[in-house]
Chains A and B, each alone.
Chain A
């Protein structure tokens, strides 16, 4: 929102200006950045020739109180969408890539059980990016932390630096089993991309959150944390949420309620 304020300060809200903005929005949706209206356009599918914008910060709210015991629909949906082999089906489960994991935790004192999915937290200050010697680990303008496989050398420094064990190395040849939208391959590190291919397509949701909603659990909410009117921003204002290892001060894009 910090982006919007100075803009509306500079631009006097003259009727002419208003009319112009209205016309521009109608004809070339998303091309002109205008206050308010256009932020919505940016958040829900920008034109393909427009770069990801820092006006948006994609994030996820995990409601651990709704995450169901025994359910791993989000994990299955992720593996289907992004084409990684489920760990149970892998020939080498110990080194199989995992973009998202289902954790079932128990408090040893009270026996209280907590369910939650764990994946890349899309840190605003990502340690994986800090340590990467080639610049392959990077944060996109809209807050998504990615690996550029064209420059990743597979050194795995980022895997060691990540406090959330979110990253995996692809150890084996994938033999053309990749999805056309999700290139991934041997010798490169990978992790949750917040379904970047879906976001760029304008789906406005991730495979895991869609699956959770479809299963009726509604534990995952994806959205733009920079837009005060988005569902995720509203819920974050209302619910007490935590960042995992908040002591590290990484400003995470994934927030948890009920942990």
Chain B
């Protein structure tokens, strides 16, 4: 049993290394892996990444009712703030291209997003369109770093549970 596990680990590591090294879109059993682009603005999400991966829909759901019905417009858990931070540098959107932040995971998990039937997918004064936007100018060094990370199969499996 131990040997089997070890073998499994080796196979997984090799697969992961092969995937990291290839230029083609990452594949696992044929399904394109989500590409998680690091948020351009801000250092830290309002909650831990792990928590947000599992619970973002719950906190968004609670916040939307407070905003629409009571008029409370705090920034924490506001979809607008998610978009402000996570919009892609290339498309200026969280859901315009298949690798954009929201779409990337949602298509992997096969969960339809309804948000953007009504909500704009772009921040106010999109960073892609206005690179000299005063609000985002001081993040330019981050833009240049093009920080992207890819999620492992195990991580995504964890989220799916």
Task: Kindly state whether residue A35 has any CB partner on chain B within 8 Å.
Answer: no
CA distance A186 to B71 in the complex (A): 23
Is A48 a contact of B93 with CB atoms below 8 Å?
A: no
B65 contacts which chain A residues (CB < 8 A)? 150
Say whether chain A's binding surface is mostly helix, strand, loop, or mixed: loop
A179 contacts which chain B residues (CB < 8 A)? 120
- What total of chain A residues lie within 8 Å of the partner, measured CB to CB? 28
Say whether chain B's binding surface is mostly helix, strand, loop, or mixed: loop
Write the nearest CB–CB distance from A143 to chain B, whole angstroms.
12
Please indicate which of the listed interface residues B69, B80, B83, B118 has the most CB atoms of chain A within 10 Å of its own CB. Answer: B118
Write the nearest CB–CB distance from A144 to chain B, whole angstroms.
8
CB within 8 Å for A148 and B69 given contacts A176-B121, A180-B120: yes
Is A180 a contact of B118 with CB atoms below 8 Å?
A: no
Is B120 a contact of A178 with CB atoms below 8 Å?
A: yes
Task: Kindly state whether residue A69 has any CB partner on chain B within 8 Å.
Answer: no
Task: Kindly state whether residue A149 has any CB partner on chain B within 8 Å.
Answer: yes
Task: Kindly state whether residue B44 has any CB partner on chain A within 8 Å.
Answer: no
Interface residues of A in 94-128 (CB under 8 A from B): none
Is B118 a contact of A184 with CB atoms below 8 Å?
A: yes
Q: Which of B72, B116, B121 contacts A51 (CB 8 A)?
A: B72
Is A146 a contact of B68 with CB atoms below 8 Å?
A: yes
CA distance A184 to B115 in the complex (A): 10
Interface residues of A in 193-241 (CB under 8 A from B): 196, 200
A-B contact pairs, 14 of them (CB 8 A): A48-B74, A51-B72, A52-B71, A146-B68, A150-B64, A176-B93, A176-B122, A178-B118, A179-B120, A180-B83, A183-B118, A183-B120, A188-B118, A196-B71
